Amino acid sequence: MPAVTADLGGLHLYAVASGAPLAAQLVATAVGGAWSDARGPRGSLVAGIAAFCAGLVVAGLAPSMEVLAVGRAIQGFGGGLLLVPLYVLVGALVPQARQPRFFAAFAAAWVVPGLVGPGIAGLVVEHASWRWIFLAVPTLTVAVSLALVPLLRRVGRDGAPRTSGGRRRTRRLLLAALGAGLAAG
C-alpha cells in the first residue's frame, strides 16, 4: 500500500483501501451463507469468483486511490461470497472422516499467504509494479477455479437443504452482517 499511495496519492484513503476488503468480506460471507442455504453453493461460488477477479482488475488498473478502494471492496465482497460455498462443497462431497484434512488445508490457505505473501509482494513491487500484485491473481484464480467445475456438477443447484422460515432468517442475518460490515468500515 505504501507504493500504491506513492503512485496514486490519496493518503487520506489509505485506511479505507486497506480495510474495505475485510468490511465487504464480512457482509458477503453472510450473503454467501444465506445464498448457499437457499439455492446451493454454485451461484455464490461463481459470483464470488467473478466479483473477486473483477475487483482485483479494477484495483490493478485504478487511476486513483478512490477507484482502488472501490476495487478492493469488490474484491473483498467476492472473497466473502466464496467462503461458505467451499465449506458446503466439502460437507457435500468429502467423507466425514476426511473433512478435517480439508479444513486444515483451508486454514493453511489463510496462514501461509499471510506469512510469505508480503515478501513476494515486496519483490514484485520492487522489480515490476504494484499493479501486478492485483493483476496476476485473477489469472491464477480462474485457472484454479476450473478445477471446481466437475465438483459443482456433482452438487446440484439445490445442493443445500432449504429450511422453513429461511427468508426471515436470511434477512436478519444480512442485516446483522451489514451492521458488522459498516462498523468495521
Domain boundaries, the chain: 1-155+163-181
Q: How far apart are CA 185 and CA 21, in angstroms?
A: 9
pLDDT in tens, 89-142: 888 888 888 888 888 888 888 788 889 888 998 899 999 999 999 999 998 888
DSSP character for 64?
A: S
**Per-residue confidence (pLDDT) for residue 146, from 0 to 100:** 84
pLDDT in tens, 42-82: 899 999 999 999 999 999 999 999 999 999 999 999 999 99
Q: Is 94 left (phi over 0), alpha (psi -120 to 50) or beta?
A: beta
pTM: 0.80
pLDDT confidence tier of residue 170, bands split at 50, 70 and 90: very low
Quick one: CATH architecture of 1-155+163-181? Up-down Bundle (1.20)
pLDDT confidence tier of residue 183, bands split at 50, 70 and 90: very low
81, 21 Cβ separation under 8 angstroms: no
27, 178 Cβ separation under 8 angstroms: yes
Q: How far apart are CA 2 and CA 56, in angstroms?
A: 18
